Amino acid sequence: MPGKNLSRDEAQQRASILAVDGYQVRLDVTSAPDQAAGTFRSTTTVTFRCSRPGADTFLDLLAPAVRSVTLNGRALDPATAYDGARVHVDGLAAENVLTVEADCAYSRTGEGLHRFVDPVDGETYLYTHYEPADARRVFANFEQPDLKAPFTFTVTAPAAWDVWSNAPHETVAADGGARTWEFAPTRPISTYLTAVVAGPYHVARDHYRRELADGTALEIPLSAMCRRSLAPYFDADEILGVTKLGLDFFHEEFDYPYPFGKYDQAFVPEYNIGAMENPGCVTFREEYVFRSKVTDAAYEARANVILHEMAHMWFGDLVTMRWWDDLWLKESFADFMGSYGLIGARTRYSSAWVTFANQRKAWAYRQDQFPTTHPITADIRDLEDAKLNFDGITYAKGASVLKQLVAYVGSEAFFEGARRYFKRHAFGNTELGDLLEVLEETSGRDLKSWAAAWLQTSGVNALTPQVTTDAEGRITELAVLQDGDVLRPHRIAVGLYDRDADGALVRTGRIELDVTGARTVVAEAAGLPRPALVLLNDDDLTYCKIRFDEESLENLRAGLGDIRDELARALTWSAVWNLTRDGLMPARDYVALVLRFAGQEDNIGVLQSLHAQAKTAVDLYADPAWRAEGGRLLADGALRELRGAVPGSDHQLAWARFLAQTAGGAEHLGLVRGLLAGSARIDGLEVDQDLRWSLWLALAAAGQATDEELAAELAADNTASGKRHHTQCLAARPTAEAKAAAWSAVIDSDELPSALVEANTAGFSIPAQRDLAALYAAPYFKLLERVWAERSIEIAMRIVGGFFPIAQTDGQTLAEADAWLAGHPQAAPALRRLVLERRDDLARALRAQACDRA
């Protein structure tokens, strides 16, 4: 489509001449329950000013048809004004009124206005998702973040439905089988932040009140909603309780009253991401409504996301980046505040920084070692670049760097800077310099060099201790070595750990210092007894990979699980995993550490990460000749820990799921089938619906689940979740027919929603079935450009990433990827980036296999 991929230059040119005064958007979705109806009526009236009268411009719109275009009372011919992606208008006046009436399409990919039919009761549900640029699938607009405006929505929907948008509704008028909802105007916001949620949702309501410093009271109506069929599982009290704690916390820290009136939170089906910060109408993936027993890590993750999205009400919604180059101005802050807020808001999740160190940073380290890594402040040329930059750099590395910044300038200076930032730029758009300005004011530090090192360069540093001792075992010198393409200033703590009387590894000393350059001497360590463990970046103040000196590493092999402090232990687990990924520790050695010490791990989130990483170590990083043995050891370990876990505990559930992931031998699969049939029992283990699907996936992947058995399980769980699980089980079967069916379902049709595309690719790509998947390597590379051209970017990303033959163990696929990259230099940059990243994953796996083999 001409102009579908809006460039930064085009956006800057448009913003240089336009100022938007307001939108009136009218949507008629009464056709939604009729699945044969593919479109809905959308009418947009936008009032805007032009500083260059007589100029021309365009609105963004992706719609099957445009009925009419009227500019300042002058009718334009849609056949010539609309090119399939843009509505072109010329002869602008100083003040303009433009109306576009279009037929827009209901979405099945989670982009635009998504329509979902609940298989449980046949009810239809709608919700919107736009970031970065899919509001144009629902109404004509200037689709860029710096042309903010107030929005007034009017939505006509079936009479039995409720409708929500960013602002409260003012009137609801009934007309036969429909009701029309008139919403109040919003405050000025960006197009991608607008929202509509409609359908027969189950709703829980509450209220938040806060006395403000000026003597007035802030009143915020609260609601949380989900599909009616999920209502029995909806723990709204817990969700709204975290919401109130978060509102208290952010008001205390930010000193700026919540500016968007009400606070609705909708948990919606087939959502492509975790959540979206639409002001006043936040949307979440409904997997956060737990149908079955989950570990406390899942509740912590949900609470983190609730606070992440709430932080966006200030960082992102009140103050918004000018263009996607500065996406970090909202996402890095929200990612940081999600963890910071769990502690500061006094929620029950006191291990939030442990989770951050163990999980979020793992995402950042992986992303930052790709050849496609980029600075936190990225060079975003267009919307396709923007879509791919919702990544581990923008979120987790940015949040890690902000944590380092707080250590660097102090928390009070940091939050006072945030307060000034909100007040100075409320309802406006900002760039990096605007934030640095207020932080320099409050901290008294020159942050330009700090920003240049941390925000405007890419790559992760590795810090390694260098320890020398005298004949009596005392430290003569402790130095920190820094590796990396860019050497950065790090504020770190060095932890010294020794065994106490009970044999635990405890911290006996802590030295905080600034690390600069390639080698920094820790002067305070001289003369101290040589500890059993030197732990760099103790307390996780900076963003880096940490290494160990040889003596520390040997002590960890013997006693990693003996580290008493859970954050120090999590940092150590993270470090040995990075050693494994970097081909510096054999995969089988990492597996041995997990098998020896994971059973001692108290933190359930860390334990579940260890399970995932150990499985990856065997599947991708181990010598192929040892892989079967490694898999058997993992399954044996899972069974042993499952039988020994406290009945009914989170740990028992985690080990049961890990057994399902690793089961391969007759003993393990026999227990799996026995648990499904009820002929086997583990005291305290409830085999509920989600665990049943995990067990069925194990049998399906082993070729021991029949079509009839899987169909019967789907019949017993005829839900959206059941359909996803059933689809994955079918694709996971180790037969050529199963792989062909999964491939065809995704490639030969564009009817599948993204949730089922993901289920098919996940089942198709079972690592143990790499020989079957290898047959599709050549077709995969042949279809890449067609997929990118014909599918929405959301679906194309899932296909490109999901079908890449990552599990291969020879150089053939690597050569095919290199040949494609060399032969397609003009392919879309975003597509090339995805392929290059998957290629790099494969190259890393091959290097790790060589290390394990050696």
384 is an active site residue? no
Catalytic residue selected from 309, 331, 601, 758 = 309
Q: For residues 700 and 707, give the distance between their C-alpha atoms in angstroms, rounded to a whole number.
A: 9
Backbone dihedral angles phi then psi of residue 370, each to the nearest 5 degrees: -70, 155
Quick one: tokens of 31?
């056709």
Angle formed at CA 752 by CA 746 and CA 755, multiple of 5 degrees: 95
Quick one: tokens of 98?
């433009």
- Which amino acid does the sequence have at 341? G
- The number of CA neighbours under 13 Å toward the Cβ of 51 is 8
Judge contact between 306 and 298, C-beta under 8 A.
no
Cα–Cα separations (whole angstroms), residue 551 to 118, 322, 534: 58, 50, 9
- Sole residue written with tokens 């504020």: 491
Judge contact between 481 and 518, C-beta under 8 A.
yes
Closest CA to 570 of 350, 358, 351: 358
Cα–Cα separations (whole angstroms), residue 516 to 408, 487, 521, 547, 735: 13, 7, 10, 17, 56
Judge contact between 141 and 46, C-beta under 8 A.
yes
Closest CA to 193 of 102, 246, 253, 260: 260
Quick one: tokens of 678?
């009820």
Q: For residues 794 and 4, give the distance between their C-alpha atoms in angstroms, rounded to a whole number.
A: 14
Helix (H) or strand (E) holding 549: none
- Give me the DSSP letters along 733-767: SSSHHHHHHHHHHHHS-S-S-HHHHHHHHHHHT-G
Closest CA to 433 of 590, 326, 580, 554: 326
Hey, which residues are catalytic here? 309
